[in-house]
Amino acid sequence: MPVEGDQYPVNLIVAGRRCLVVGGGSVAARKAAGLLACGAEVHVIAASPGPQVTALGVPVERRPYRAGDIDGYRLVIAATDDSAVNRAIFEAGEAAGVWVNSADDPASCSFTLPSVVRRGPIMVTVATGGRSPALAAWLRDRIEAGLGPEYEVLLSLLAEAREAIQASGRSTEQADWQNVLDSDMLELIQAGHPDLARERLQTWLSSLSG
């Protein structure tokens, strides 16, 4: 049975979509930078935007938040230092069907943001349902320490294999990926032998067509 407050995990595609950040401090800057890194069209509203915000090079309206400001946006970050303003933004989002994250206030969020580890296209997220961002960040750091560049090479090899299976007209869902991942491919890459890992993968692919 689900626990009250359980969250449904998703990865949002924000590239090319209009997103609003309300606030001018370091938290707002960090949230805006995260959206920019994913290709979003970011707009900021802040009465007093700080240097971290202005350095982002995004459009900034230098004024307080006003009712109706969220109209036309797909996603909004409320990161002001006024909890009443952040709450008003959330309530406006609920009425308009716009997703809103209110910094450090899970009760005023329609989505929360996890701590993220990125290694090229690989993304691992850690969340605590907004109950302890510090624990999420601590766990993220522990995961990041063990997620070396060899995993990017492994991903590249697996992507090649998946494309080869698709090109042959076979289903990638029925392939025993766990079997090949449990082989010594990763260890070979870590030891500086990606070509041997590729050979191991090719042998596995040949067995699928046999």
Q: Is the pLDDT of residue 41 over 90?
A: yes
Tell me the percentage of the chain whose pLDDT exceeds 90: 74
**pLDDT, position 208:** 75
Model confidence band, residue 15 (pLDDT cutoffs 50, 70, 90): very high
**Spatial distance between the Cα atoms of 201 and 190, rounded to a whole number of angstroms:** 16
Average pLDDT over residues 104-129: 91
Name the pairing type of β-strands 41-45 and 60-61: parallel
| Pairing status of strand 60-61 against strand 115-119 | unpaired
Report d(CA 6, CA 1) in Å as an integer.
10
pLDDT at 7: 85
Q: What is the pLDDT of residue 210?
A: 56
Average pLDDT estimate for 92-98: 97
Per-residue pLDDT at 1: 42
Tell me the pLDDT tens digit for each residue of 159-191.
Answer: 999 998 899 888 888 888 998 899 899 999 999
Say what the pLDDT of residue 106 is: 87
Q: How confident is the model at residue 125 (pLDDT cuts 50, 70, 90)?
A: very high
- Tokens for 179? 């079997």
Q: Is 97 left (phi over 0), alpha (psi -120 to 50) or beta?
A: left
Write out pLDDT tens, residues 74-94.
999 999 999 999 999 999 999
- For the cut 70, the answer to whether the pLDDT of residue 4 exceeds it is no
| pLDDT (0 to 100) of residue 46 | 98
Work out the mean pLDDT of the chain and round it to a whole number.
92
> Measured between alpha carbons, how far is residue 130 from residues 7, 8, 101, 113 in Å?
10, 13, 11, 8
The alpha carbons of the chain give a radius of gyration, in whole angstroms, of 22
Confidence of residue 5 (pLDDT cuts 50, 70, 90): low
